[in-house]
């Protein structure tokens, strides 16, 4: 079943990522990737596997982190959507903005997570984006409100790191 970009959830992507990350190290090695693909009925030779790994592993550390995995997952989701529409967008994989890597996203997330509790609240997001209490809170077009709706998948009023990663990559891919 094809999933739309808007419905792609951080929890679903994390669950799939974890199914490949056998040792729970937070990254997928080439051997874990090979075994995971085999479990999913995808057999590929070592040359294909290494080419695929080089394409996904954008920071070149020899492992796939959650950000790299999410980028691939969401790009494939867009590709399926476009095939369904029988259109192709030439700019799909030639995204002008570089998608931030895992370390950049972690640094941005930590900066926004003012209280250090591992999630970003509405107030922290507003502060990060430069909004004050004097701003009109009823304006549904504010950036912070749009981002909260996009990122806060479980609607708990907080953005987890996984939700943040998925939302940031979605934003980059939509541009």
| Residue-wise pLDDT tens digits, 127-165 | 887 766 655 555 545 677 788 888 888 888 899 999 999
Q: Which domains does the chain have, with CATH numbers?
A: 10-85 (1.10.238.10), 102-174 (1.10.238.10)
In terms of pTM, does the model score above 0.75?
no
- Torsion, Cα 119 120 121 126, to 10 degrees, reads 170
Beta-strand pair 158-160/119-121 = antiparallel
Contacts of 97 (CB under 8 A, 6+ apart): 172, 175
Task: Please answer whether residues 174 and 81 qualify as being in contact, where contact means their C-beta atoms are separated by less than 8 angstroms.
Answer: no
Q: Residue 86 pLDDT more than 60?
A: no
Q: Measured between alpha carbons, how far is 99 from 161 in angstroms, rounded to an integer?
A: 16
Average pLDDT of the chain to the nearest whole number = 81
Q: Residue 91 pLDDT more than 60?
A: no
Q: Residue 94 pLDDT more than 50?
A: no
Q: Residue 43 pLDDT more than 60?
A: yes
pLDDT given at position 95? 40
CA atoms within 13 A on the CB side of 90: 0
């Amino acid at each position: 079943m094809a999933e739309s970009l808007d419905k792609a959830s951080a929890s679903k992507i994390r669950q799939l990522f974890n199914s490949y990350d056998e040792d729970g190290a937070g990254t997928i090695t080439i051997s874990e990737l090979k075994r995971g693909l085999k479990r999913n009925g995808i057999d590929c030779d070592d040359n294909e596997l290494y080419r695929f790994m080089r394409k996904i592993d954008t920071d070149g550390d020899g492992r796939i982190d959650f950000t790299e995995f999410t980028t691939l997952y969401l790009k494939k989701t867009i590709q399926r959507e476009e095939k369904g529409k029988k259109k192709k967008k030439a700019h799909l994989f030639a995204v002008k903005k570089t998608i931030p890597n895992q370390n950049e996203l972690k640094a941005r997330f930590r900066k926004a997570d003012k209280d250090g509790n591992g999630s970003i609240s509405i107030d922290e997001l507003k502060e990060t984006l430069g909004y004050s209490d004097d701003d009109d809170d009823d304006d549904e077009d504010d950036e912070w409100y749009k981002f909260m709706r996009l990122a806060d998948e479980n609607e708990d009023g907080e953005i987890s790191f996984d939700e943040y990663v998925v939302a940031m990559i979605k934003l980059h891919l939509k541009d």
